[in-house]
Amino acid sequence: MIIDVLQMKEIYFSCLKPYIEDIVLLESCWNEVIVSYSDQRRAYHTLVHLQHFSNQLDLCKNKLSDYSTAYLAMIYHDIVYFMMDGTNEEKSALVAVNHLNRLQYPSDLISVCSEMILATKTHAGNSSSDINYFIDADMSILGADSGSYAQYAVGIRKEYGDSIYFDQGRKQVLQSFLNMERIFKTDLFFDRYEKQARLNIQLEIDNLG
């Protein structure tokens, strides 16, 4: 996959320029994003993941009532990672709120952005259509072709595989997806990815033994 960091930066800036003229501050916030996703400990939750997520948001752009807020939530949703207490999403949402307040993004939209990020903790269905499209876009890797899915699984193992509990925990997470009535909450993503996702997940569970 081609990573177009410049394009992602341009979209990020276009979402925020209506509210802030301080380009230096915009650059500073963007650079924090780049540094976080370039952490050498990351193997899946990297700029490649952001690019994939961005591509998926493009698929449902005309379905979203607020693409800009969804895009900003995408940028920040994994900015904090490797929290041993399992608060990645909460900490990421706090960074988003901090940045967006400084960048004078509307407070009501900051709340929506935070809610979107927090929704990636459980990927449960939501009353908000935008949030359902957002979490489906985040989960879309599950329904990728078998080769791409295998690379994703390897990346997750590199990030967490040092734990002796990895296999057990991974199987529990994967089984929780299979136990969902629908992994993908929107018809767009369900029709596109559900069948392959279930095949991919079951194969990984089988390989875990």
Mean pLDDT of all residues in 92-114: 98
Mean pLDDT of all residues in 194-203: 98
pLDDT of residue 162: 77
Task: Give a three-class secondary structure readout of 62-85.
Answer: HHCCCHHHHHHHHHHCCCCCCCCC
Q: Enumerate domains of the chain plus CATH numbers.
A: 5-208 (1.10.1300.10)
pLDDT, one tens digit per residue, over 51-80 is: 999 999 999 999 999 999 999 999 999 999
Distance between CA atoms of 175 and 173, rounded to whole angstroms? 5
Neighbour tally for 75: CB within 10 Å: 25
Distance between CA atoms of 36 and 26, rounded to whole angstroms? 16
Q: What percent of the chain has pLDDT over 70?
A: 100
Distance between CA atoms of 47 and 128, rounded to whole angstroms? 27
pLDDT, one tens digit per residue, over 147-195 is: 999 999 999 999 987 788 889 999 999 999 999 999 999 999 999 999 9
Q: How confident is the model at residue 92 (pLDDT cuts 50, 70, 90)?
A: very high
Identify residue 139 by its one-letter amino acid code.
Answer: M
